[in-house]
Amino acid sequence: MGRLGLPPYWVEIAYLITAVMFIIGLKRLSSPATARSGNRLAAIGMAIAVFATLFNLNVLDPWYIIVGSLIGGGLGWYLARSVEMTAMPQMVALFNGMGGGAAALTSIAEFLKHTGGFDPVFTIATILGVIIGSISLSGSVIALGKLQGFITSAPVTYKGQQIVNASLAGLLALGALYLIFFDHRNGLVLGLMFVIAMILGVAVVMPIGGADMPVVISLLNSFTGLAVAFSGFVLSSFVLIISGSLVGASGTLLTQLMSKAMNRSLTNVLFGAFGTGGSAEIAGAGGAAGRSVREVTAEDAATLLAYANQVIIVPGYGMAVARAQNAVQDLAKLLEEKGVTVKYAIHPVAGRMPGHMNVLLAEADVPYTQLFEMEEINPDFARTDVALVIGANDVVNPAARSDRSSPIYGMPILDVDRSAHVIVMKRSMRSGFAGIENELFYDPKTSMLFGDAKDAAEQLTAAVKQL
């Protein structure tokens, strides 16, 4: 019987309920309208799994788990509540790394206390859990540093780096073969593999440019899921196997979707050393090579917006940095009161993580019915009077369609340049993550409204009220 006098199989039933809630919760995350309830459902499922484990007969002293859960849960709650939306990818990277590290350390602990004979499933699962979890841990820390800025976002490359990486991978393979075929109880070898895998994670992520960190984080997320699944084999816990597999599969699919949205292969992301992280300044006061842009005042921009039939707002990372979503929604509401149809165009990789713009706009109570994905909204631009671009850059660059020499050539973009008028709200002529010029800025139909996005949106609102 369990601690509460319940039959032994009640734990397995609780785990089954948890797995079902994870699957349903993940499904509901696919829509902004159901994402919050899906997240809550998955959280409840996790709580059920924790309590089932806590009261399992095999848990000798639950107080260690209770205290650890309170500390970890409290810290996680504080971080999640206090983190800025612009830093959400960094937090995801941190939690990613912690999950991978926890899976690796759990596998090591089970390996060290294992007293049975040679079990190939146990040994191989332990090795894979340690290697994949360690790579996820160190790689996620580097990704966090590149996004946060305490590690350069530029690709860090050196001569012979592929040989070094291949050598590290070779050492891990040799260690795995040694444990499987010669000495399956050698904890020192497994510990060395943990260290080597950590180094490999750093070596693989450092040469990747800051522009690709969101893709890297998504890939490492799938690694964490796989590490958790393998630790499930080590612990004989099917709830870990199911939940880890779900994370691994969803992370892999998300990585593929993000790569497709940028028209780049995963190999190119990992080895292409692409992007500067948006640090490059376009030469000259007005633009590169003496090219000029047309500036507009808030009053003139407000006139264009107020007398339009349809306005499409295109949010980007600049809106997140300025925390301008509420000011933008106030402007949209005012335009709707004047009879203007307002829509929001969401690019799959706008911001620094998928769904970044959706979360920001939901925070400002923008109706879900006004949010349109790229494939839905692109045909509407040709029938749109004004496209208002707020802090977006590479995802609206027409060079992706026309310039074969551009590094973003072939990337699906929002067809903003096909609108009758384009207003770009931007702090400066600084480039986007790809580190290249945006041809949209020099289009005769485009007007630049320079300044902080929140301040500019408030100025536009005030000017529209005067009309």
Q: Please list the alpha-helical segments (H only) found in 291-411.
A: 298-306, 317-322, 325-337, 356-363, 374-377, 399-402
Q: How far is CA 332 from the centre of its chain?
A: 27
DSSP code of residue 1: -
3-state secondary structure of 343: strand
Q: Cβ distance 392 to 317 under 8 Å?
A: yes
- List the beta strands (DSSP E) in 219-320: 310-315
3-state secondary structure labels for all residues of 191-223? HHHHHHHHHHHHHHHCCCCHHHHHHHHHHHHHH
Name the phi and psi angles at 110, rounded to 5: -65, -35
Task: Give the end-to-end CA distance of the chain in Å, rounded to a whole number.
Answer: 75
452 is annotated as an active-site residue: no
- State how far the alpha carbon of 95 is from the alpha carbons of 24, 26, 40, 103, in Å: 22, 18, 18, 12
Pick the catalytic residue: 380, 394, 415, 452?
A: 394
Tokens standing for residue 176: 């795995």
Measured between alpha carbons, how far is 69 from 421 in angstroms, rounded to an integer?
A: 54
Measured between alpha carbons, how far is 396 from 413 in angstroms, rounded to an integer?
A: 5
Measured between alpha carbons, how far is 240 from 1 in angstroms, rounded to an integer?
A: 23
Could you tell me the sign of the dihedral formed by the alpha carbons of 302, 451, 328, 35, in that order? positive
Q: How far is CA 69 from the centre of its chain?
A: 25
The single residue listed with the structure tokens 């599969």 is 249
Question: Catalytic amino acids?
Answer: 394
